[in-house]
Chains A and B, each alone.
Chain A
Amino acid sequence: MKAALLGLCPAPGAVYQLGTRCLVWEHQAVLLLEFARSRGLLPAELLAAAGFSSMPSLLSPQQLLDLLAALQAQLQAPDTAFVLGQLSLPGHAGLASHALAQARNGRQALELLAAHSARLSPLLTPRLLWHEDELLLIWTEACGVGAAQRNFVVDMQMSAVTALCQWLGGRRLPWRYSFNRSRPRDLSQHAVFLGADLQFDCQVDAMRVPAACLDEPWPRGVADSMAAQALAQGADPGAAGRGLLAALYDHLLPRLREAPTLEQSAQAFGVSSATFKRHLAQHGTHFQAQLDQVRTHWALYLLLLQGQSHERVAQALGFHDRSNFRRSFKRWTGLVPSLLA
């Protein structure tokens, strides 16, 4: 259980918000402009459509989302998210990208990705859950993505990891995908860019693969990569940053048994309750929604993967009795826990 927690929540880093200017222009935005150009959309047109008056040296996650929305609206192509994702990793985000390109195998690559997501996946935070002989890669919001863009960003990041492993590993891994949305009418892009094993109407956006596949050595791997060592020594402190919602997730997950409150969490983040409330509202959410999400994920883990009894799960989530837990679980997921087990 301890090990599972460790993979899901890597070492804490500086917290960034939706409006924090923390993304280097050359890291993500340049890729978008290059993609737009190759599809016949001039960079100036894209910037104008996204409401930019000039090219900033640093941009906020919100601005990156604005650029993505403009790109999606201007191109009107069904494959934008997938092709963009394919090209986005290892990427051009300095040390983190170098280390990723030199990863010895899939396991190291995914660990680098999870630990340095502020550089490699700033909008959606990847979390690793090693369970028996399988790895689950769970995507949670870093600092809020509007409902209109959520599917786009999830598709993009899933395509990014899939293509990264295929490109550096030299073969397609047998990923299985679950999506927290209803089944779309047209599955052609998902089927071609991701794979055939797609499940919809799930509680989480996640992908899973046999762990053994991730231990196969990658042909381009470098045994003691200088970049990975430098990163481990903290050469790029910004890479360990966490989005506000991801940081809150990290904070809540180990404390679920104690039924954490807004006040306690605000204190841990060093702000007043009112300020914390306002920050969460700016990210399109509120404390209870975030707490419920973490509890849902953990309950699913304990019920489905650990096969624990309802009493123990209720206890682990800070409920006093089983029926309370059952009622809440029904409210979060629309399902009765006994149907799952």
Chain B
Amino acid sequence: MLISPLLKALQPVPQAPVLGLAHFGHLLALLMAGLMAAFAWGGEAKPLQDWRWMDVAGEGGMVLMAAIWITQLRSSRPGGRVTSWLCLGLAGILLGEWVDVLDEFWRLPKAVVWDNWLESGMTPLGMLVLTIGLQHWREEERALSAQLLKRERLIREHRSFDAITQLGDADYLARQIALEQRREGQSGAALLMLSLDGFDSVAREHGLAEADRLLQAAGHLLILNLRPEDLLCRYAGDRFALLMPGAGPALAAQTAGHLQQALGGLAHHSRQGQRIQRPARVVWSAVDPEEPGAQQPLHLAARL
């Protein structure tokens, strides 16, 4: 039972290219082998009693960790500028430490300086490159956050995202309501809930895949109709919940009517070319500053 997840974890995962090189890892290994050959060829092997085991373990561990970080980074990110900077930085650190490790096993003649140069140059250089990479990463995050606007606010929690609509779920909504209640100087907030009338028959008549696609389309459509500070979540089933920070009754009522019209006007076309259109229902209430965040959507769900 324990073996299979372990094997799964060890299976090779696709690695992103670095600087366009798909075999960056192999290149790195080749460089390391080359350095080792240079040490073996130009240096004199230290006798066993001169090996300092603490240093070997410490510096070897650094090399290993840097290698793991590169692998994880390349398997979790798409290739591109940011990935390349980050990987090059880590590669620099890895090579610098590698020279350090080799130093423990071979003694190079005093006249040879390139190893000192590598040892004290590569690691700081790698750190510099890594820092530049992190700076680019921050810019990238900012761009991505703009794309996620109206889908997430204040906190990111990938486990709370619904797989079908890529919106936050009921749990995420409850925590956002709680955050909204705690915010000081806030002039109230409104909570809306929308549903599609007769949605349950869509899965029966057109299949579950079509019902899921309709939900996706509805999610996209609603997002387009929101203010930047609003948050849309998929509550459960065909219920979408909308948290509108700072919205008073007039704005909430106006938005409710507008979204109901937009959702009711959505004509989704199935893969078989059938037109699926369902009227929408909407209810809303002001966010209660006292009641727990998980309770408030329940009242709305009961009214729909």
Contacts and interface: CB of A to CB of B under 8 A. Distances in A.
B208 A186 contact: no
Given A163-B200, A196-B301, A188 B207 contact: no
A78 B170 CA distance: 10
Nearest to B213: A38
Contacts of B209: 38
Interface string A178-197: 00000001111101110110
B302 A87 contact: no
Nearest to B298: A191
A189 B212 CA distance: 16
A77 B297 contact: no
B163 to A, nearest CB: 6
A141 interface: no
> A-side binding surface: helix, strand, loop or mixed?
helix
A166 B301 contact: no
A191 B302 contact: yes
B235 interface: yes
B236 interface: yes
B208 A192 contact: no
B236 A193 contact: yes
A117 interface: no
A39 B162 CA distance: 12
Interface size bucket, A side? 20 to 34
A186 B200 contact: no
A276 interface: no
Interface residues of B, number: 23
Interface string A62-94: 000000000000000111001100110000000
Given A77-B163, A186-B294, A196-B298, A191 B236 contact: yes
- Which residue, of A188, A189, A191, A193, has the highest number of chain B Cβ atoms within 10 A? A188
Contacts of A186: 170-171, 174, 294
Interface in B188-213: 200-201, 203-204, 207-209, 212
B301 A188 contact: yes
B237 interface: yes
Contacts of A163: 200
A277 B201 CA distance: 46
A79 B201 contact: no
A167 B237 contact: no
A166 B200 contact: yes
B200 A167 contact: yes
Contacts of A175: none
Contacts of A79: 236-237
Given A38-B209, A83-B208, A186-B294, A192 B203 contact: no
A301 interface: no
Nearest to A193: B237
B281 interface: no
A35 B203 CA distance: 11
Interface of A: 34-35, 38-39, 77-79, 82-83, 86-87, 163, 166-167, 185-189, 191-193, 195-196
Interface of B: 163, 169-171, 174, 200-201, 203-204, 207-209, 212, 235-239, 294, 297-298, 301-302
Please provide the 8 A-B residue pairs with the shortest distance between their CB atoms, ordered closest to farther. A196-B302, A188-B170, A192-B236, A38-B209, A188-B236, A192-B237, A38-B208, A191-B301
16 contacts: A38-B209, A39-B208, A86-B203, A166-B200, A167-B200, A167-B201, A186-B170, A186-B294, A188-B169, A188-B297, A189-B170, A189-B237, A192-B238, A192-B239, A192-B301, A193-B236
Given A39-B163, A188-B301, A191-B302, 12 more contacts: A38-B208, A38-B212, A39-B208, A39-B212, A79-B236, A79-B237, A87-B204, A186-B170, A188-B236, A188-B297, A189-B236, A195-B302
